[in-house]
């Protein structure tokens, strides 16, 4: 069977997730090198990549990972220290695995070889065994020779063979399929019924087999047999035919075996007086007693179940014997006893605590692993689901409208129900696409680590709000701008350790990355405690470039926003002071493509704060529907501060721009009619929507405010891509199209015009 491409894809996805885990865990390990849980986690992840990789044809990945795994195994066993060298190496290996998975040819052979060499050196006695050809036990070598071999086989399974789940009959069947086979049963050892233990096997077989297979193939049949079972395979020159009596025995075999099988199933009472399970049962009992009461048991040991206990390690290494361990443990006093002896607790208190512990242990067993509740779904299916829900929302809007036209009370209730259900469904479906932002945060830890090496600065990344969830698409596109901003912070924001000491700061510079929900928006902040940006320099530069008049009074935020202008950063004076602005226009463009906004705030010598605000989703927004010149427009509801009648007396013209007074302050006014050059006749009364853009309030003048509306965002055609002030379109209940306003862009345009 050819290796199925589906498996390969699944494996790649799985490996990608494991690589994220590996990176995170390695960095955790660097902070806390003794963390045995992290080491085990790391080992397991590498182990899975190795094992599964080989299964699905990623042989290079598997072979390479084998080295890393061996090194980690040494760490696990305490034969290798976790140090910077190891961390670097594991990280480098992780990157190579990632590249190998992507495209084996993309990996630089010299880099590859150097990492392999370093790994080999680390593993002091490198094992030369190759992971290939390891299917020793079950290899089914094609035997082309048509020579018929004859064998005499003696097979006496151990009495307790069925305890290991082995069914000898299947082995006999397998032999029968290999060629001409005669089987004779030995029943001498079957005891009297009163002595018979139903789960023990008392019979054995003698088999004569004429087959084209060789002795290895026959040995393979018995590969899983335990040591206590007897198996002898002898090649013979000729086979004597079985006597008639013996033939009868063979037939009898079938009926007896059937009986045995029934007996096997019917055993429902645990058999007493078993003598076969020896060491293991003792050991597991020992383990249980350790778990339940021993004073050395800790939460850590419970958590993963893989941390070996001291006794186990000593036992494993052959330093002590089981009996010695057991007798020593028996001598060990339990914590409860010690505490009572020292009169720290009373017996009653101990009992209550033990009862609690029991309950916890039970709970631990009952708890379903949290991961098991999740289902893996291809993201295309999710996209399709979101689209369908979008269509449903549109249809629902149409239904509501039609129902309103008909005006039937009977229709109202179900239509309202559908309305409610649709919005619930919408929320849930959008929620499915949400991923915690922490999945990309972890990547930045690595970035900061690399940067501190490159820039010779002491850097630390602090993250907050990793659990904040964002739409998958937004998350993916957020990656680039964030990398850029963090690089800037580390490179240009944070000073060298020496400069920091002079400025009275700690040597270590801190870059803080945080995410949070703020009323229908996701706020992502990148903050550093570096040297900050001098706003006077920025302002002077803006004046020089003619972006603003020298006498204009601007807020700090407005001044800093010049940094996002294309080409602004190339100016020498800025880079020499702060270095900010390199490619910041690209950052802004990328954030705006996600319907988000980005702002800078900075204090000279104190640090810089960059705030990114993003919508929760890109596909459906809560909007406010307005009407201008008979056409409908939608603006994002989260930008709307308030709605009011336009009172002509409050209008004014200052410096050639329309303003109105809002709560005693002057705010700019934008007429959508004017902005879109709508020629339709003006309505008698106009209304005003007050929107918040970058913390400044503006008034948008419309004919009529219609109300809130759930808009499914549809992209607009190529022809309209460049149209100013529009970010998309939506289909209304009656099938007509409403444009979605890009308020940010509209206000930006008005500002530009003013200059």
Pick from 50, 67, 253, 673: which binds other proteins (CB under 8 A)?
50
Shortest distance, position 620 Cβ to other proteins, whole Å = 31
Structural Rg of the chain based on CA atoms: 38
Of 264-272, 347-355, 431-439, 697-705, the segment contacting other proteins by CB under 8 A is 264-272
Of 48-56, 436-444, 478-486, 654-662, the segment contacting other proteins by CB under 8 A is 48-56
54 lies in the binding site for other proteins (CB under 8 A): yes
Shortest distance, position 62 Cβ to other proteins, whole Å = 7
Cβ-based nearer residue to other proteins, 162 or 490: 162
Beta strands in 557-664 (DSSP E): 597-603, 607-615, 620-628, 631-636, 640-645, 651-654, 657-662
Cβ-based nearer residue to other proteins, 21 or 250: 21
Of 95-103, 156-164, 240-248, 687-695, the segment contacting other proteins by CB under 8 A is 156-164
129 lies in the binding site for other proteins (CB under 8 A): yes
Pick from 304, 391, 479, 544: which binds other proteins (CB under 8 A)?
304
Contact predicate 487/578, CB 8 Å: no
Pick from 305, 407, 504, 735: which binds other proteins (CB under 8 A)?
305
Contact predicate 317/335, CB 8 Å: no
How is residue 339 written in tokens?
Answer: 């505490």
Pick from 159, 184, 224, 291: which binds other proteins (CB under 8 A)?
224
Place of tokens 């001098």: 534
* Sheet hosting strand 607-615, strand order edge to edge: 459-464, 509-518, 521-528, 607-615, 597-603
276 lies in the binding site for other proteins (CB under 8 A): no
4 lies in the binding site for other proteins (CB under 8 A): yes
Cβ-based nearer residue to other proteins, 225 or 702: 225
Neighbouring C-beta atoms of residue 410, cutoff 10 Å: 9
97 lies in the binding site for other proteins (CB under 8 A): no
What is d(CA 685, CA 488) in angstroms, rounded to the nearest whole number?
A: 50
Contact predicate 610/525, CB 8 Å: yes
Cβ-based nearer residue to other proteins, 292 or 352: 292
Q: Which residues make Cβ contacts (< 8 Å) with residue 576, sequence separation at least 6?
A: none
DSSP state letter for 106: G
Which residue(s) pair with 708 in the sheet?
Answer: 624
Pick from 196, 215, 267, 292: which binds other proteins (CB under 8 A)?
267
64 lies in the binding site for other proteins (CB under 8 A): no
What is d(CA 658, CA 744) in angstroms, rounded to the nearest whole number?
A: 18
What is d(CA 356, CA 345) in angstroms, rounded to the nearest whole number?
A: 15
372 lies in the binding site for other proteins (CB under 8 A): yes
What is d(CA 116, CA 467) in angstroms, rounded to the nearest whole number?
A: 37
Pick from 82, 101, 115, 162: which binds other proteins (CB under 8 A)?
162
Pairing of strands 640-645, 631-636: unpaired
214 lies in the binding site for other proteins (CB under 8 A): no
* Number of residues in contact with other proteins under rule CB under 8 A: 65
Cβ-based nearer residue to other proteins, 60 or 423: 60
Shortest distance, position 299 Cβ to other proteins, whole Å = 15
Of 67-75, 104-112, 233-241, 439-447, the segment contacting other proteins by CB under 8 A is 67-75
Helix, coil or strand: residue 468: coil
* Sheet hosting strand 204-211, strand order edge to edge: 179-186, 204-211, 149-156, 230-235
Neighbouring C-beta atoms of residue 454, cutoff 10 Å: 10
Contacts 24+ apart (CB under 8 A), 566-574: 568/541, 568/542, 571/541, 571/544, 571/545, 573/537, 573/540, 573/541, 574/537, 574/538, 574/541
Shortest distance, position 165 Cβ to other proteins, whole Å = 4
77 lies in the binding site for other proteins (CB under 8 A): no
Site string for other proteins, 8-47 (x = CB under 8 A): --xx--x--------------------------x-xx--x
Site string for other proteins, 170-209 (x = CB under 8 A): xx-xx------------------------x----------
How is residue 724 written in tokens?
Answer: 């100013």
What is d(CA 671, CA 655) in angstroms, rounded to the nearest whole number?
A: 17
What is d(CA 174, CA 160) in angstroms, rounded to the nearest whole number?
A: 21
Pick from 126, 131, 308, 629: which binds other proteins (CB under 8 A)?
131
Pick from 28, 88, 163, 466: which binds other proteins (CB under 8 A)?
163
Pick from 27, 42, 56, 640: which binds other proteins (CB under 8 A)?
56
Name the residues that contact other proteins, by CB under 8 A: 1, 4, 6-7, 10-11, 14, 41, 43-44, 47-48, 50-52, 54-56, 62, 66, 69-70, 73, 129, 131, 134-140, 162-167, 170-171, 173-174, 199, 221, 223-224, 226, 264-265, 267-268, 270, 279-280, 284, 304-306, 365, 367-369, 371-372, 376
């Amino acid at each position: 069977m050819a290796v199925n491409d589906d498996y390969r894809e699944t494996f790649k996805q799985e490996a990608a997730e494991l690589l994220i885990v590996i990176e995170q865990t390695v960095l955790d390990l660097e902070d806390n090198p003794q963390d045995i849980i992290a080491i085990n986690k790391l080992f397991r992840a590498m182990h899975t990549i190795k094992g599964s990789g080989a299964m699905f044809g990623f042989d290079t990945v598997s072979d390479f990972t084998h080295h890393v795994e061996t090194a980690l195994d040494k760490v696990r066993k305490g034969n290798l220290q976790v140090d910077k060298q190891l961390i670097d190496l594991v990280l480098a290996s992780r990157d190579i695995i990632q590249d190998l998975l992507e495209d084996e040819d993309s990996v630089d052979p010299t880099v590859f070889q150097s990492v392999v060499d370093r790994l080999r050196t680390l593993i002091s006695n490198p094992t030369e065994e190759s992971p290939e050809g390891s299917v020793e036990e079950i290899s089914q070598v094609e035997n082309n020779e048509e020579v018929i071999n004859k064998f005499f086989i003696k097979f006496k399974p151990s009495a307790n063979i069925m305890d290991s789940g082995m069914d000898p009959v299947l082995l006999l069947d397998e032999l029968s399929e290999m060629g001409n086979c005669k089987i004779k049963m030995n029943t001498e050892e079957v005891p009297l019924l009163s002595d018979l233990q139903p789960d023990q096997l008392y019979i054995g077989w003698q088999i004569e087999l004429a087959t084209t297979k060789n002795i290895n193939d026959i040995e393979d049949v018995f590969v899983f047999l335990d040591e206590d079972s007897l198996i002898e395979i002898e090649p013979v020159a000729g086979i004597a035919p079985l006597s008639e009596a013996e033939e009868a025995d063979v037939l009898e075999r079938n009926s007896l075996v059937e009986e045995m099988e029934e007996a096997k199933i019917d055993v429902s009472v645990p058999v007493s007086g078993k003598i076969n399970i020896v060491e293991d049962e003792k050991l597991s009992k020992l383990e249980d007693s350790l778990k339940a009461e021993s004073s050395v048991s800790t939460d850590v040991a419970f958590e993963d179940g893989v941390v070996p206990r001291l006794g186990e390690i000593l036992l494993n290494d052959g330093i002590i014997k089981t009996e010695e361990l057991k007798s020593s443990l028996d001598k060990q006093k339990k914590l409860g006893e010690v505490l009572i002896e020292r009169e720290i607790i009373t017996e009653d208190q101990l009992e209550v605590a033990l009862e609690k512990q029991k309950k916890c242990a039970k709970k631990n067993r009952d708890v379903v692993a949290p991961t098991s509740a999740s289902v893996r779904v291809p993201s295309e299916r999710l996209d399709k689901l979101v689209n369908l829900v979008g269509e449903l929302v549109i249809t629902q809007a149409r239904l509501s409208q039609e129902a309103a036209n008909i005006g039937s009370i009977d229709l109202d209730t179900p239509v309202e129900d559908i309305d409610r259900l649709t919005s619930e469904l919408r929320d849930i479906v959008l929620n499915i696409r949400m991923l915690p932002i922490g999945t990309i945060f972890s990547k930045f830890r690595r970035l900061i680590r690399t940067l501190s090496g490159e820039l010779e600065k002491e850097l630390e990344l602090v993250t907050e709000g990793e659990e904040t969830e964002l739409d998958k698409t937004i998350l993916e596109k957020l990656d680039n701008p964030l990398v850029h901003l963090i690089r800037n912070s580390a490179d240009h924001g944070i000073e060298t350790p020496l400069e920091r000491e002079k400025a009275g700061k700690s040597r270590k510079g801190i870059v803080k990355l945080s995410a949070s929900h703020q009323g229908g928006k996701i706020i992502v902040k990148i903050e550093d405690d570096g040297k900050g940006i001098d706003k006077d320099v920025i302002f002077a530069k803006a004046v020089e470039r003619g972006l603003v008049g020298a006498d204009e009074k601007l807020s700090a935020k407005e001044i800093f926003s010049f940094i996002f202008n294309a080409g602004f950063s190339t100016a020498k004076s800025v880079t020499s002071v702060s270095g900010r602005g390199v490619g910041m226009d690209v950052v802004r463009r990328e954030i705006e493509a996600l319907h988000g906004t980005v702002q800078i705030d900075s204090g000279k010598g104190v640090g810089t704060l960059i705030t990114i605000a993003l919508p929760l989703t890109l596909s459906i927004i809560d909007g406010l529907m307005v009407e201008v010149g008979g056409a409908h427009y939608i603006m994002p509801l989260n930008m709307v501060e308030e709605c009011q009648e336009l009172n002509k007396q409050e209008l004014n013209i200052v410096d050639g721009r329309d303003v109105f007074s809002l709560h005693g302050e002057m705010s700019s006014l934008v007429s959508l009619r004017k902005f879109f050059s709508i020629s339709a006749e003006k309505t008698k009364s106009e209304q005003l929507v007050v929107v918040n853009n970058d913390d400044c309030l503006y008034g948008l003048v419309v004919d009529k405010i219609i109300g809130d509306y759930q808009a499914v965002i549809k992209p607009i055609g190529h022809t309209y891509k460049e149209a100013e002030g529009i970010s998309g379109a939506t289909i209304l209940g009656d099938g007509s199209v409403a444009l979605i306003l890009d308020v940010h862009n509209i206000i930006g345009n008005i500002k530009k015009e003013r200059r």
